[in-house]
Structure 1
Amino acid sequence: MELTSDRISLTPFDQSDFALFVELSMSPVVMEHVYTPFTLEEATAAFEEKTKPWTINSHAWLCFGIKEKTSGEKLGNIGIKITDHKAKIAETGFMIKPGAQGKGFAGEALKLIKDYVFNALALNKLTATCAVANTGSYRLLEKTGFTREARLRQNTVINNRYVDDYVYGLCRHDL
């Protein structure tokens, strides 16, 4: 399976995504608003979990590597996890390496994921959660049609500090 736009392609995680996943997961700069950076062992275990076979009935993440089509450069990753199979709700999350941020790649990846979730998987809602200080992520979510639905106080612990999160949602009928 491959999801493509003019500039990028998304393919399910494989071993070629390992190095960048580990780099991003261990980076204090990239993880500042996401979670406490992983150790190498934690990053390796997380990657192995995210590369397991996935079906529409899975309770795990389906993760895609984001690659620039012309150069073949790995830019980051994006994934979905069905959080409520009966209500047809999935969550999405993404990480883009610093050198690729602010160039529209995450927006393109998010648009591809939205199409996949609503058209190929026929789900009803897509959600995303991000730290209130993660202005880049929440602005992107808003720009791509998501609605801020809640602020969850002290919802996440990052680097031993409680962090508030915003929850965003996009329903099929919003498109």
Structure 2
Amino acid sequence: MIVAETERLTLSKFTLEDAPFFLELVNTPHWLKYIGDRNVKTIEDAQNRITESHIKSYNTQGFGFYVLRLKEGDNKPIGTCGLIKRDTLEDIEIGFAMLPENEGKGYGHESSLAVLKLAKESFKLKKVIAITLPTNTASIKLIEKLGLSYQKRVKPFEDDKELLLFAKTLN
């Protein structure tokens, strides 16, 4: 189900049919380096993660992460962008990730603008945050380009890694 469109992309809810793409995405070098190994090693693992994370979020929160597909060509999935409510953070977080061949082409910015519009207009959010490793300069650059401002350092996960937290008021 398509939830938003941009000039070059459609954003749609994950389904179990997206498992092969999701498996590929979560095992890319940048995902593993900057987001972490999610122990998704098989199609079945990917289907379970989609069910337990993405589909559950749609059903409980009304939002989640979306599959980004190119409008031109064969509607190929190229990445993900969306919103997540983590138990360890007070506010709703925006996040994004692309397959390596689609990084640096503006898709993250384009899809994030659409997600921020959904956050404000459809989900009536007043604020969004983003977290990233201090070493993820590409992510920091995009987060700042989206208008989020650095707030503080946080350790929201059990791995005790310190992350940068950015925030933006949606008005």
Q: TM-score w.r.t. structure 1 length? A: 0.82
CA contact (8 A) 1:59 1:83 kept: no
Structure 2: 5+ residue stretches without partners: none
Contact 1:3 1:10 in 2 (8 A): yes
Q: How does 1:20-169 map to 2 (within 5 A)?
A: 20-40=21-41, 42-49=45-52, 50-52=54-56, 54-55=58-59, 58-59=60-61, 62-71=64-73, 72-82=75-85, 89-152=91-154, 157=159, 163-169=161-167
Query: Does the 8 Å contact 1:155/1:165 carry over to 2?
Result: no
Deviation per residue, 1:2-58 (Å, 9 max, x gap): 201111110111234221111121234432011125242554421222124725xx2
Q: In 1, Cα distance between the equivalents of 2:4 and 2:46?
A: 25
Counting strand residues as a fraction of each chain, which structure ranks higher? 1
The alignment of Structure 1 onto Structure 2 pairs a total of residues equal to 164
Q: In 1, distance between residues paired with 2:77 and 2:156?
A: 33
How large is the RMSD of aligned CA atoms in angstroms?
A: 2.5
Query: Is this contact kept in 2: 1:51–1:63, CA < 8 A?
Result: no
State the alpha-carbon separation in 1 of the partners of residues 47 and 19 from structure 2: 8
Percent identity (aligned)? 21
Normalised by the size of structure 2, how large is the TM-score?
0.83
Q: Which runs of 5+ in 1 are unaligned?
A: none
Runs of 4+ residues deviating >6 angstroms: none
Structure 2 CA distance for partners of 1:139 and 1:40, relative to 1, 3 Å: same
Q: Is the 8 A contact 1:156 1:164 kept in 2?
A: no
Per the alignment, in what secondary structure is the counterpart of residue 40 of structure 1? coil
- Alpha carbons 2:154, 2:163 under 8 Å: kept: yes
Q: Is the 8 A contact 1:25 1:31 kept in 2?
A: yes
Please state whether the residue corresponding to 1:145 is helix, strand or coil: coil
Aligned equivalent of 2:168: 170
